[in-house]
A and B are shown apart, each in its own frame.
Chain A
Amino acid sequence: MREITESSIQEVTGKALIIRQDIIKMLGKAGSGHTGGSLSAADIVSCLYFWEMNIDPQKPRQEDRDRFVLSKGHAAPVLYAALAAKGYFPGEELERLRKLGSPLQGHPDMRKVPGVEASTGSLGQGISWAVGMALAGKMDSRDYRVYALLGDGEIEEGLVWEALMAAHHYRLDNLVAFLDHNGLQIDGPICEVMSPEPVADKFRAFGWQTLVIDGHDPRQIMEALAAARSTKGRPTAIIADTVKGKGCSFMENRAEWHGTTPNEEQVAQALAELIG
């Protein structure tokens, strides 16, 4: 069992800052991509890669590794930044995000990037993969765990609920789904576009142990992960309340930053704010 200590909290907080800085830099350079939803997920992803998951960047295909599936594949920058920080590939690669011939595709490609476990981007499919991976783990009596990260707009896809139903049916207690609950999708607030609320009630109704936390508080994220680990017989959903664009004042809670990237000036401002 991983311990939650001041130093582990410091560690993931520090890595989350690096991840956010890299998100801003790579998206500024790329000139296209999804900024808001990458920033909102940074603390969750940092806790997974720098505290929770049993992974070794030197052995990215090791059979017993834990697996992370970025079901909201458009937030690829947060995943790429975490993988680079963890040492899966050199940080310079991030500068080639979305460029012709780069392994860092607009949405994650497992065939091109070490450490990417699933080719996602078409919403709803990642959670379905994660269920399959968790099933395989159960079948072979392996003790690896599977983590999926979903967007709160993403759960408007019907496939998500097929997958949630199956995860409960097959009692996949080796599966954890985070919901990056930032409340915004491309066309505006999720409640105005196609409300999936009340989200926690829906996950509970589908048989998942459901925890609601502040998705920017590392301690709460870690505690939720620990609770999931000690839960038997059913999967755990962690509804993480987050802020789209978290960390950059001019992006926070603004739907227009879903698929927009910062210009040079905005990059400088964002980085200054992040460093504080």
Chain B
Amino acid sequence: MEKQATRDAYGKALVELGQKYDDVVVLDADLSKSTKTADFAKAFPQRFINAGIAEQNMIGMAAGLAAAGKVAFASSFAIFATGRAFEIVRNSLAYANLNVKVCATHAGLTVGEDGGSHQSVEDIAIMRSIPNLCVVVPADGISTRKAVEAVYKRPGPVYLRLGRPSVPVIYDEGMDFTIGKGIELRSGKDITIIACGIMTAKCLEAADVLKSDGIEVSVVDMHTIKPIDKELIVRKARETGAILTVEEHSVLGGLGSAVCEVVCEEYPVPVERMGIMDIFGQSGSPDELIQYYGLTVDKIVEKIHILIKKK
């Protein structure tokens, strides 16, 4: 199976974007080799700004560049872009509704060996709560490329969450990426899994396993967490009667919470949330961490068997 890290796809997509649009500028905070903005820096040195190890000023400068007519892409690890620079994102980008795209890599546990200090498990929750800010979490390399273009074309601030590890490519080039429109990858009548980011591929695998157990599962790639696709969530709640959410993020405030908010108010059915259970990560290989924190295909299958009995 073909694999690609979403950060790698981001780096390539930025170069393509730079070729197409003169107003694209890219900022980084001394992590350009890891975030892959180094590709853009090489191709367009005049349009690349290294802020040094100063994420707050990176976001502040991005605001100034956007106010002067640029479309600024600012990258760092998720922990720093959304944590260290939170209040600058809130006041300088979102409050002023500026055309800045905060594109953070190394989100979630799969940062791996660097450990809990660098594993952002709360960034979706933080970004989702800010008015004006759109939150996008692509599932694979191809959808990341499409997302980068869609994010460029959407006026205003966006948070794009990307990962470090290679993940299976689940889309083909013809896929349609529309911000705010979830993608129903499988349509099964028994139960729905709503996932985002790198967990989406695992949910597809789980759906295959469940099929052999006689359970037909719908799988939704909810790549936009905000604005969330209410219509699709309500339809799947109605059609299948129960929902499992799966994300590489805290179960507090992320995709699971966003889905629950819709389901509670619009069409109550049982929902279970899989994610990181309000705890910090630790050092380990990405695979070991996924295993340790219970985000494996087996666990998804197990959870579906439990949830389906609650219908």
Contact = CB atoms under 8 A, between A and B. Distances in A.
Contact of B54 (A125, A130, A135, A162): A162
A128 B64 contact: yes
A166 B57 contact: yes
Given A125-B91, A131-B64, A139 B25 contact: yes
B51 interface: yes
A166 B51 CA distance: 7
Contact of B67 (A124, A132, A159, A166): A132
A122 B60 CA distance: 11
B249 interface: no
Contacts of B92: 119, 122, 125, 128-129
Given A135-B49, A139-B47, A130 B64 contact: yes
A63 B63 CA distance: 16
B124 interface: no
A123 to B, nearest CB: 10
Contacts of B150: none
Nearest to A170: B49
Nearest to A169: B52
A112 to B, nearest CB: 11
A132 B63 contact: yes
A159 B86 CA distance: 13
Contacts of A150: none
Contact of A131 (B25, B61, B95): B61
Contacts of B52: 162, 165-166, 169
A136 B68 contact: yes
B21 to A, nearest CB: 14
Nearest to B53: A162
B105 to A, nearest CB: 21
A165 B69 CA distance: 23
Contacts of A166: 51-52, 54, 57, 61
Contacts of B72: 132
Interface string B282-307: 00000000000000000000000000
Interface string B61-92: 11111111110100000000000000110011
Max chain B C-beta neighbours (<10 A), residue from A110, A119, A130, A158? A119
A129 B95 CA distance: 14
Contact of A122 (B25, B61, B66, B87): B87
A239 interface: no
B136 to A, nearest CB: 23
B33 to A, nearest CB: 20
Contacts of B175: none
Contacts of B56: 124, 128, 158-159, 162
B185 interface: no
B97 interface: yes
B96 A132 contact: no
Interface string A227-262: 000000000000000000000000000000000000
A137 B67 CA distance: 11
A196 B286 CA distance: 45
Contacts of A139: 25, 46-47, 70
Contacts of A179: none
Nearest to A137: B68
A172 to B, nearest CB: 11
A212 B65 CA distance: 29
Contact of A133 (B46, B49, B67, B96): B67
Interface in A152-183: 158-159, 162-163, 165-166, 169-170
Nearest to A129: B64
Contact of B91 (A121, A127, A132, A169): A121
A164 to B, nearest CB: 9
B91 A136 contact: no
A159 B57 contact: yes
A44 B145 CA distance: 48
A111 interface: yes
Given A121-B91, A122-B87, A166-B51, A129 B67 contact: yes
Nearest to A158: B56
Given A63-B69, A122-B91, A136-B68, A129 B54 contact: no
A69 B63 CA distance: 12
B32 to A, nearest CB: 16
A132 B87 contact: no
Contacts of A133: 64-65, 67-68
A118 to B, nearest CB: 6
A134 B68 CA distance: 9
Nearest to A138: B46
Interface of B: 25, 46-47, 49, 51-52, 54, 56-57, 59-70, 72, 87-88, 91-92, 95-97
16 contacts: A119-B91, A122-B87, A125-B60, A125-B92, A128-B57, A128-B60, A129-B61, A129-B64, A129-B67, A132-B60, A136-B25, A136-B64, A137-B68, A159-B88, A162-B56, A166-B52
